[in-house]
Amino acid sequence: MKKGILITIVAATIGLLNCHPFQGTKQPIIRLKGSETMLPLARMWAEAFMIENSGVSVYVDGGGTATGAAALAQGKVDFCMASRPLRPGEAQLVAKRFNTVGIAILVAKDALSIYVNPENPVHSLSMDQLERIYTGELQNWKQVGGTDIPILLLHRMPNSGTFLYFKEHVLHGQPYSQNGKQLPTNNAVMQTVSENVNAIGYGGAGYATNVFHCQINGVSPSAENVATDSYPITRYLYLYTVRTPRGVLKKFVDWVLSETGQAIVKNAGYFPIWEKE
């Protein structure tokens, strides 16, 4: 049964604008920008929504959660796609321009999956081992039951919401190892892991090609484990906007949270916030 539209107001709205930056155009335009994790999902939403609503154009761009938040604060987009809650400084920039700290809309759940090469014998790690690997304390796979080869450590760029989420929830605020290699997208991380038997990386569970998704604390990032929050690195994905959606924006949000929109979430390899019983 649908549990209702999950719209979380992150703070009291100070004031709402009465205009839309794209009003006056003959064809309604919806612009989304942000999380690379959400990019494949948002593109699928955009394509399906435009098929059902031929008079609407939906533009989707990545660049990371921080980039999307900056674009939202500058009034360049309608929605910031975010794989983490906006940080206080980002919300402050929105408030400075729009006199509101914005609204967060929960649109999907995601497991932050740990990728290893399929030929790597290590298929399970504890949260403690994962933390010690990414802070640089453990640098050889032999230290976690694998082959005696150095660990090739991969992580995302600092503008990525996934980078910050991992730092806060796995590293508990500690800095990443200086031996790590920064990559710009989930696809780049996945490809590098698939090509290097000694590599480890992380990204959305929806990216499943040619990598093995490690168990964490003995729990795999399966749909059932994510739904019950049994998998220890489970998170929500958000659409942020500066005010309560109206008109075509409300229609888009309602559609994303509808049975159709949430079915696309599932088909894309992510996890719906609700499913029809």
pTM beyond 0.85, yes or no: no
Containing structural domain, residue 254: 7-109+236-267
Does residue 273 lie in a domain region? no
User: Residue 73: left if φ>0, alpha if ψ -120 to 50, beta else—which one?
Assistant: alpha
3-state secondary structure of 143: helix
- Tell me, yes or no, whether 128 and 148 share the same domain: yes
Query: Could you tell me where the beta strands, DSSP code E, fall in the chain?
Result: 7-8, 29-34, 57-61, 79-82, 103-116, 124-125, 152-156, 181-183, 199-204, 212-213, 215-216, 234-241
- Tell me, yes or no, whether 88 and 116 share the same domain: no
Q: What is the pLDDT along the chain (277 residues), one digit of tens a residue?
A: 443 333 333 332 223 233 344 444 568 999 999 998 899 999 999 999 999 999 999 999 999 999 999 999 999 999 999 999 999 999 999 999 999 989 999 999 998 999 999 999 999 999 999 999 999 999 999 999 999 999 999 999 998 888 999 999 999 999 999 999 999 988 899 999 999 999 999 988 765 678 999 999 999 998 889 888 899 999 999 999 999 999 999 999 999 999 999 999 999 888 999 876 6
- Tell me, yes or no, whether 54 and 95 share the same domain: yes
- Tell me, yes or no, whether 153 and 174 share the same domain: yes
Does residue 272 lie in a domain region? no
Does residue 258 lie in a domain region? yes
Does residue 30 lie in a domain region? yes
The enclosing domain of 54 has a CATH number of 3.40.190.10
- Number of structural domains the chain divides into: 2
- Tell me, yes or no, whether 241 and 223 share the same domain: no
- Tell me, yes or no, whether 117 and 218 share the same domain: yes
